[in-house]
Amino acid sequence: MCGIVGYVGPRDCSDVLIEALTKLEYRGYDSAGIAVFENGRIKVAKSKGRLTDLVEKMNKEGKPKGHAGIGHTRWATHGEPSDVNSHPHSGRRVTIVHNGIIENYKEIKQFLIDNDRTEFLSDTDTEVVAQLLDFYYDGDPVRCIRRVLHEIRGSFALGIVFADRPETVYAVRCESPLIVGQGKGEVFIASDVPAIIKYTKDYYLLDHKEIAVLRNGTVQFCSLHGRIIEKELLTADWDEDSAEKGGYPHFMIKEIHEQPTAVKTTITPRIENGLPDLSECGITPETLRGFKNIFIVACGTAMHAGMVGKYVIEKLARVSVTVDIASEFRYRDPLIDENDLVIIISQSGETADSKAVLSLVKQRNAKTLAVVNVKGSSIAREADMVIYTHAGPEIAVASTKAYMVQLSVMYLLAFEMAFAKGRISEEECRRLTLELVRVPDIIDQTIKRIENVCRYVSTKLITADSLLYIGRGLDYALSMEGSLKLKEISYIHSESYAAGELKHGTISLITEGMPVIAVATQNSLFEKTLSNIKEVKARGAMTIVICDQKADIDFDVANYIVRIPRISEMLMPMIATVPMQLLAYYTSVNKGNDVDKPRNLAKSVTVE
């Protein structure tokens, strides 16, 4: 979603803003712009398209020269991507950039029109806010922002400059993320840490409806009621390199290769004497014994991690787990009460629908547990308990390592819960935990062993218009993610299907040469899946089978076989994920797509 940056300091502001916006490209955008104080006047440059288009435009028309300003990458919501709809937007004396949605912008626009403010150039909700700020501006920027905060509704973060307050940047947030970076004699605002990590690791988290005033290399915070507030300075625990490609052609492949380390870093601190121990996350065996039902609610890839979690928790701990899509769950008046545990999984911790679910279930007194990657994010702060995944920054829009660490947390939770409830013995819990500890090395071996195979097999997919991913049990849960990954970045239509359900309709889609990727890693279901593979092969499908090294399968059933190491079937998803990621990655590369920034997608979906 949109990215916001801002800068006040001695460097060339335009350069800093462009550099910082480049680091937010992963969020997804379709236009970009900046506003900089040049000789005391606000100069705006903006353009539809990529940041390179903006830079090209500035090279032709003149780059704003100054030391304070704001910048933006826009992911269109209100109004098509165009030069005029790009941010910044201005009223007469106010210029702003905005991430999020202003829900009541139509009423505000009408109010402004009724008060003779009719100069709207764009279709955006943002311009309405710029005009409203201008309408109330009486020479006191903070008072004006506070006034506007009382009138606008929605989730948003704003970067604001006032024409008569040169060299000063104002910022405010309501729901949408915003941080304030503090360097030596310079200050920044940004939607996310990677934007500023090149300049400083120290940052403040702006809270709901807090206002930041950036001036003279320092920042002052005040509340909605105008009270000056002190905030804690945080330090990012990763460096610039982790937000760079480090020699890989794309972030996605770098992040696939980072998975062994990410899993190790996530699970190691949560294992004590060979047993899972989530006490540092506020979770004790007593807590885990106390729930009647579990709900896992999330979006996209995180929801798919929850699907695997359901199979594993139900199998081991014998508790009923319902997995739901956050955008559906929030509107279906779910049957939840204080006896239930709701697990929200989210890489960013800022996804609008997942956040809404968290508030909803808290109102119904359910216990809430967040599984989140971004420290200090809204979901992490608002849940009763939080298990941080330690994947480090995930920049590619298509999630890989974040999914893998979410899986590892699902396993830890299932093991500890099953043990706490007396469903597995201590010995069994130790055995499972030890196997999980060995998984990072096996992921590493798997990547090395099959990367070339997947690269080759992907060349067989690039001409497909549509394909199916099939599997049973955990393989089915997993194939949902494999299918999503592939469609996100290869733009090939793909559907995941429970293998046994195919013959109830979907098998009619099979035509000569249509690719079917079968995940067949569950020994107990192998024969059944094999029959389903034969069924589609007999109808002309080109079959690609992901199975373990010892699986008894021949090339008369599978056109291509991707063999992965065998571990216990319950943990196979953590290994079988790798070929699915690599197939998606290389198909996208072979099609010449923009792998890290697939069209129309955003990394963090902060609007509904």
Based on the shown chain and the rule CB under 6 A, indicate whether residue 397 belongs to the binding site for ligand G6P: yes
What sign does the CA torsion over 345, 383, 174, 244 have?
Answer: negative
Q: Taking the CA atoms of the chain, what radius of gyration do you get in angstroms? A: 25
Based on the shown chain and the rule CB under 6 A, indicate whether residue 399 belongs to the binding site for ligand G6P: yes
Q: 437 in helix, strand or coil?
A: helix
Q: Residue from 194, 604, 606, 607 that binds ligand G6P (CB under 6 A)?
A: 604
Q: Residue from 301, 408, 581, 588 that binds ligand G6P (CB under 6 A)?
A: 301
| 309/325 Cα distance (integer angstroms) | 14
Q: 455 in helix, strand or coil?
A: helix
Bridge pairing between strands 493-498 and 228-229:
unpaired
Based on the shown chain and the rule CB under 6 A, indicate whether residue 43 belongs to the binding site for ligand G6P: no
Choosing from 23, 355, 487, 603, which is the catalytic residue?
A: 603
Per the listing, tokens 């204080």 go with 338
- Taking the complex as a whole, the smallest distance from the CB of residue 592 to ligand G6P amounts, in Å, to 21
| 63/54 Cα distance (integer angstroms) | 10
282 touches 386 (CB < 8 A):
yes
Nearer to ligand G6P (CB atom), residue 47 or residue 377: 377
155 touches 606 (CB < 8 A):
yes
Nearer to ligand G6P (CB atom), residue 187 or residue 605: 605
Nearer to ligand G6P (CB atom), residue 302 or residue 360: 302
Based on the shown chain and the rule CB under 6 A, indicate whether residue 490 belongs to the binding site for ligand G6P: no
Rounded to 10 degrees, the C-alpha dihedral 371/375/376/381 comes to 20
Nearer to ligand G6P (CB atom), residue 193 or residue 302: 302
- Taking the complex as a whole, the smallest distance from the CB of residue 402 to ligand G6P amounts, in Å, to 7
Residues whose CB falls within 8 Å of the CB of residue 78, separated by 6 or more in sequence, listed in order:
85, 101, 105, 123, 124, 125, 126
Based on the shown chain and the rule CB under 6 A, indicate whether residue 36 belongs to the binding site for ligand G6P: no
What residues from 435 to 454 belong to the interface with ligand G6P (CB under 6 A)?
none
Choosing from 2, 174, 281, 299, which is the catalytic residue?
A: 2
Least Cα distance to 148 among 168, 179, 166, 125 occurs for 125
Residues whose CB falls within 8 Å of the CB of residue 523, separated by 6 or more in sequence, listed in order:
569
**Which of the ranges 105-113, 157-165, 247-255, 598-606 carries the binding residues for ligand G6P, by CB under 6 A?**
598-606
Residue 13 falls in the annotated catalytic set: no
The two tokens of residue 72 are 């933006």
Q: How far is CA 109 from CA 49, 101, 105, 347, in A?
A: 27, 14, 6, 35
Number of residues lying near ligand G6P (CB under 6 A): 15
Residue 43 falls in the annotated catalytic set: no
Pattern of binders to ligand G6P over 317-356, x per CB under 6 A?
Answer: -----------------------------xxx--x--x--
- Taking the complex as a whole, the smallest distance from the CB of residue 98 to ligand G6P amounts, in Å, to 20
| 169/16 Cα distance (integer angstroms) | 14
| 414/540 Cα distance (integer angstroms) | 41
Nearer to ligand G6P (CB atom), residue 354 or residue 577: 354
- Taking the complex as a whole, the smallest distance from the CB of residue 598 to ligand G6P amounts, in Å, to 9
Q: Residue from 20, 44, 196, 302 that binds ligand G6P (CB under 6 A)?
A: 302
- Identify each DSSP E strand in 176-268 by its residue range: 179-182, 187-190, 202-205, 211-215, 218-222, 228-229, 234-235
- Taking the complex as a whole, the smallest distance from the CB of residue 534 to ligand G6P amounts, in Å, to 34
- Taking the complex as a whole, the smallest distance from the CB of residue 259 to ligand G6P amounts, in Å, to 15
- Taking the complex as a whole, the smallest distance from the CB of residue 327 to ligand G6P amounts, in Å, to 11
- Taking the complex as a whole, the smallest distance from the CB of residue 266 to ligand G6P amounts, in Å, to 15
- Taking the complex as a whole, the smallest distance from the CB of residue 358 to ligand G6P amounts, in Å, to 11
Q: Which helix (H) or strand (E) holds 30?
A: none
What sign does the CA torsion over 445, 517, 560, 460 have?
Answer: negative
Looking at residue 509, the DSSP 8-state letter turns out to be G
Q: Residue from 123, 320, 601, 608 that binds ligand G6P (CB under 6 A)?
A: 601
Nearer to ligand G6P (CB atom), residue 5 or residue 326: 326
Segment 180-185 long-range contacts (CB within 8 Å, at least 24 positions apart): 180/204, 180/206, 180/212, 180/214, 180/219, 180/221, 182/218, 182/219, 182/233, 183/9, 183/217, 184/217, 185/9, 185/10, 185/217
Residue of minimal CB distance from ligand G6P? 300
| 181/235 Cα distance (integer angstroms) | 10
What residues from 261 to 300 belong to the interface with ligand G6P (CB under 6 A)?
299-300
User: Which residues form the interface with ligand G6P (CB under 6 A)?
Assistant: 299-302, 346-348, 351, 354, 397, 399, 601, 603-605
Residues serving a catalytic function are: 2, 603
